[in-house]
């Protein structure tokens, strides 16, 4: 049972990958890049340290550009992040060999998040199973599990070496002369997993 799991190297997508592996899935980590920066390498490094199979999938630059325009128009990044995430899921789901896709989205997340209608639409259009191991877990449960499993580094988003969509999105905004801090929340802490504390609880 192979599953292709969208992976940033953060606490949530790492915990979701661990759960999938525990359930017996053969987990293939996938990190999205738009080819603008090489920040995918942080996810790769974490994947290697955790012992997971990992690949980088490059999405078309026009998706990032459309997302940047959404950010500028909206004055906040929610719709842009949602847009990129759906494109990423669709890209993986559309591959011929893929029967199962997954991500680390949580119960308490606002974006990226697929509601029931979009979830079923994704599964039906691409004939895949879309598995979200963290959807039934609250922040306390996720924190408890992640802190037992992983060595985690927590920093402000601007400073963290990380492989999520935000990094290239912020970079593209800067290239267009826009300060990302006018669009992204001022203090937004994010996590990066550095390795295992232990692999079994």
Binding residues for a copy of itself, rule: CB under 8 A, are 1, 19, 22-25, 100, 107-108, 116, 119-120, 123, 129-138, 140-141, 144-145, 200-201
CB of 86 to a copy of itself, least distance (A): 17
**Residue (24 or 75) nearer to a copy of itself, CB:** 24
Query: Minimum CB separation from a copy of itself for residue 110, in Å?
Result: 10
Closer residue to a copy of itself in complex, CB, 1/154: 1
Shortest Å distance, C-beta 201 to a copy of itself: 3
The contacts of residue 128 (CB under 8 Å, 6+ apart) are 93, 98, 99, 100, 101, 122
Looking at beta carbons only, is 16 or 172 nearer to a copy of itself? 16
Give the C-alpha distances (Å, rounded to integers) separating 21 from 86, 125, 127, 193.
24, 26, 22, 17
d(CA 89, CA 102): 8
For 200, other C-beta atoms within 10 Å of its C-beta total: 8
Min CB(88)–a copy of itself separation in Å: 17
- Between residues 133 and 180, which has the closer beta carbon with respect to a copy of itself? 133
**Rounded (10°) angle between helices 11-22 and 139-149:** 80
């Amino acid at each position: 049972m192979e599953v292709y799991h969208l992976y940033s190297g953060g606490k949530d997508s790492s915990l979701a990958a661990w759960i999938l592996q525990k359930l017996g899935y053969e987990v293939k980590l996938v990190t999205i890049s738009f080819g603008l920066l090489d920040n995918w390498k942080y996810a790769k490094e974490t994947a290697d340290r955790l012992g997971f199979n990992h690949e980088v999938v490059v999405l078309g630059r026009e998706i990032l550009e459309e997302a940047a325009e959404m950010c500028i128009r909206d004055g906040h990044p929610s719709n842009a992040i949602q847009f990129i995430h759906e494109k990423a899921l669709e890209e993986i789901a559309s591959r011929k060999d893929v029967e199962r896709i997954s991500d680390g989205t949580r119960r308490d997340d606002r974006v990226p998040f697929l509601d029931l209608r979009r979830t079923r639409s994704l599964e039906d259009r691409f004939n895949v199973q879309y598995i979200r191991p963290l959807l039934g877990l609250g922040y306390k449960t996720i924190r408890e599990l992640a802190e037992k499993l992983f060595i985690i580094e927590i920093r402000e988003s601007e400073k963290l070496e990380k492989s999520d969509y935000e990094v290239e999105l912020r970079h593209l905004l800067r290239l267009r002369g826009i300060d990302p801090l006018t669009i992204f929340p001022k203090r937004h802490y994010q996590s990066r997993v550095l390795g295992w504390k232990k692999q079994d609880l």
